[in-house]
Homo-oligomer: A and B are copies of this chain.
Amino acid sequence: MNWENNVRKVVPYTPGEQPKCGRMIKLNTNECPYPPAPGVKKLLESENYEDLRLYPSADAGELVEVLAEYYKVKPTEVFVGVGSDDVISMAFLTFFNSDKPILFPDITYSFYPVWADVYKIGYKTKALDENFRIKKEDYLEPNGGIIIPNPNAPTGVLESLDDIEEIIKSNPDSVVMIDEAYIDFAEEGTSALSLVEKYDNLLVIRTFSKSRAMAGLRVGFAIGNEKLIKYLNDVKYSVNSYTMNRPSLVLGVEAVKDDEYFKATLKKIINTRERMKKELTALGFSFPDSKSNFVFATHKTAAAEDIFKYLRSKQIYVRFFKQPRIDNYLRITVGTDEETDELIKELKSFL
């Protein structure tokens, strides 16, 4: 017997590769191809470095308030964390403590089973149908909690708000988390945020890493009723009082304030995505209709892994998952128009 017997042994999540070569096209981790709001640059230059010696606000009040204002909720209905991963991890720890298993789709964000394992939460996966859609009946059985990403990753598929609502409504004994990391790339009116006042068991999770171009700053948030947020904060204050550092608070606030830039960036990405869909179709690819900032594509003849390797040799990084049901698909982030041109050019030359 030694200390190793008492170690929590886990199989950790594998994040997408972060290659460090000079010239490359990075379409593998769904980052935004455009920089954050220009005001962020100014703030970065003028930030009072002397304040770095002082603790940040423990409640991240400045960021919570600007988010509450933007999403028209109360500050007591907003929780912020170090990326949505931190928020979801904390929410698993807080809300998923039942004897019954939690439920999520079989093809989804691969961090869900990892969080379940690290916190020793039982889970059951529910198979998506052949079009990568959720079967809502799957989520009506007894459970200890539910997490559904909408749009889903890595498929990009958006479920209807009616189906989402039915799942929330049918599970008053469970917290239902809707992970909306990519919802800003879908049409308005598709977010479950509109249901927050109606259901006290709903937690909606968002991130600054995709649509707000701030993956490097690590900011995510959740919106839900006051009781949920209070429980979440209690656990957060039992783990780390000061999770958000000063730069993330100051720059995060600025990113929310510049709504014009935000909307313009979204529009550019959505336009590029729609063009990319057409070009991919013309090349013989098919994909579920994407409402996110990536396309999950399979080719009628070429193997995904071969395409992945070829693109990589050309310094174009996309994501390939060697997993059942999706091992002939590539998840390709929507880049700039120039990056998309380059991608299409290389795909043509390979095919």
Contacts and interface: CB of A to CB of B under 8 A. Distances in A.
Interface of A: 1-15, 18, 26, 29, 31-36, 40-41, 44-45, 47, 49-58, 82-83, 85-86, 89, 93-98, 111, 114-115, 117-118, 144-145, 172-175, 200-201, 209, 213-218, 227, 231, 233-248, 251
B31 A53 contact: yes
A217 B240 contact: no
A15 B217 contact: no
Nearest to A55: B215
Contact of A231 (B7, B13, B26): B7
13 contacts: A1-B173, A2-B173, A5-B98, A8-B94, A8-B235, A14-B237, A31-B53, A40-B49, A115-B239, A217-B245, A218-B243, A245-B245, A247-B247
A165 to B, nearest CB: 16
Given A117-B238, A242-B83, A57 B18 contact: yes
Contacts of A231: 7-9
A238 B115 contact: yes
Contacts of A82: 82, 240, 242-243, 245
Contacts of A8: 93-95, 97, 231, 235
B52 A36 contact: yes
